[in-house]
Structure 1
Amino acid sequence: MLSKNRIKYINALKIKKYRQMHEAFIVEGAKSVLELLDSDFKIEFVLSTSEFRQKYSSNLSRHNAVTETVTLQELQGLGSFQTNDSCLAVAKTKDNAFLSPDMAEYALILDDVRDPGNLGTIIRVADWYGITKIICSEDTTDMYNPKVISASKGSFTRVTVFYTDLGSYLSANAAEKKVAGAFLGGKSIYDYNFSNSGGFIVMGNESNGISKEIEAFVTDKVTIPRIGEAESLNVGIATAIMLDNMRRQNAVKR
């Protein structure tokens, strides 16, 4: 049976200030926990049903994870999602380490993306298209939010996120690089030429788009042409379209 202190600790990690205080976060569900086990994150402990522990005993023993068997009722009472029927892990957060731009690759810039589901989706999309670096504004939602971790489907283990003042970062690192920003008004993405030498792709806030401060650093305003009547695109979907076109163009150039 789980101790009251452990239950209290896990529940506290659902809140940002306690994640920061303890430098720890929650990972729920079989897929995400298995990805965590194969990553370089330091794991505090894993809570799992007996079925999960038996099925993945080699994974757990290979990574020497401290594992405690719990009932399905205990697990569902702890997690944020009703569908979790296998495991929950607590891992240590990583330092907010500076990310330098690559010479021949693109990095994502997220300007005030607030919805945890959107951030998690963007991390997953970035992983799909081989983008390993995301630079976020200080107001962008916390990547260790349980909803972000869940929506990323394990991609948080392969994509590095850095939070900083975007104006200062771009001022110091965007010289002589293309900075493509997603706007409702701009050059069609189908006509835009993504640089083969890398740069930045900027995605803005769900309601307000890219801020005026960050717009000043954008060298190329790009739009996804609207054919139908929808007012706007979800920022996660828009990110996928931007990255897909970038990768397709670069593949053709090679």
Structure 2
Amino acid sequence: MLSKAQIKILRSLHLNKYRRKYRQFLAEGTVNVLDFIAGPLSVIQIYATESWIEKHPDLPQHLKPETISLKEMEKISALKNPSDVLAVIEKPEHQLPDISTLEDYVLALDNIKDPGNLGTIIRTADWFGIKEILCSDETVDAYNPKVVQATMGSLARVRVHYTNLSSWLSKKPSRLKIFGAVLNGQDIRKVKKPGKGILLIGSEAHGISDSLFPFIDEPVSIPAATGSQAESLNAAVATGIVCYTFRMTS
């Protein structure tokens, strides 16, 4: 049975200030939890129902779950429909990648506010083998429970960094290109794909910030179908198309 103190601490991890204070975050659901167990991050504790534990007898010995009831799970879960398992994970301290030595594509996200969008973007990056994501300081916290849930385990494999994007991009060597996703750029299908570079995605509401536009080497656009009257694409959908085009086409 969970103590009141345990419940208080676990519920506090729903909030960013306590995730920073304790350097911990929550992962819920079987896919998420098993991916974190298999990944490089440190799993501190697992809480699970008796039925979930019976279905997963092969967990590492040092990660023996604490058995709790569904009613207790409801008290600590950040989800409307709690899962049968929740894990406490140590927040990683990833070293910021050196922009002068990049030899692959990385994503740069400017002011992405929606947790679902960020989670989907992280999952998309994982699908296309993009291991580093640079976020502006204003972007939603990657360890927000809604973001973690939307990543479906991909946060265990993709390194997410927060930094001042202007400062980081200003150090870019001339040999590396920054491709900015905008409404009126070059058709993304016709852009030469160099196999490395920075794919810059703007916010859902305002696109790429004015302060970052000077860093863009090639503005690129996803063409709409003839007759389309849609104003723009969802940020996560646009990121998926950009990642596919740069990673899978030439």
Give the TM-score, by structure 2 length: 0.95
Query: 1:51 maps to which residue?
Result: 51
Query: 2:154 maps to which residue?
Result: 155
Contact 1:96/1:163 (<8 A) preserved: no
C-alpha displacement of 1:66: 4.4
Could you list the runs of 5+ residues in structure 2 that have no partner in the other structure?
none
Partner letter of residue 82 of structure 1? K
SS of 1:183's equivalent in the other structure is: strand
Tell me the distance in 2 between the aligned counterparts of 1:95 and 1:208. 30
Residue by residue, what CA displacement relative to the aligned partner does 1:102-133 show, whole Å, maximum 9, x if unpaired? 54311000011111111100000000000000
Partner letter of residue 14 of structure 2? K
What does residue range 242-253 of structure 1 map to in structure 2 within 5 Å? 242-250=242-250
C-alpha displacement of 1:246: 0.9
Query: 2:95 maps to which residue?
Result: 97
Tell me the distance in 2 between the aligned counterparts of 1:135 and 1:70. 37
What does residue range 86-165 of structure 1 map to in structure 2 within 5 Å? 86-101=84-99, 103-165=102-164
Tell me the distance in 2 between the aligned counterparts of 1:48 and 1:60. 15
Tell me the distance in 1 between the aligned counterparts of 2:111 and 2:174. 22
C-alpha displacement of 1:146: 0.4
C-alpha displacement of 1:96: 4.5
Which structure 1 residue ranges, 4+ long, deviate > 4 Å from structure 2?
A: none
Q: 1:174 to 1:200 in 2, by over 3 A?
A: farther
Partner letter of residue 98 of structure 1? L
C-alpha displacement of 1:51: 1.2
Q: How many residues align?
A: 247
C-alpha displacement of 1:194: 1.6
Contact 1:47/1:88 (<8 A) preserved: yes
SS of 2:191's equivalent in the other structure is: coil
Contact 2:94/2:159 (<8 A) preserved: no
Could you list the runs of 5+ residues in structure 1 that have no partner in the other structure?
none
C-alpha displacement of 1:229: 1.6
Tell me the distance in 1 between the aligned counterparts of 2:83 and 2:123. 22
SS of 1:98's equivalent in the other structure is: coil
Tell me the distance in 2 between the aligned counterparts of 1:29 and 1:127. 18
Tell me the distance in 2 between the aligned counterparts of 1:73 and 1:229. 48
Tell me the distance in 2 between the aligned counterparts of 1:161 and 1:20. 15
Query: 1:183 maps to which residue?
Result: 182
C-alpha displacement of 1:81: 1.4
C-alpha displacement of 1:190: 1.6
Tell me the distance in 2 between the aligned counterparts of 1:248 and 1:85. 35
Tell me the distance in 1 between the aligned counterparts of 2:174 and 2:82. 46
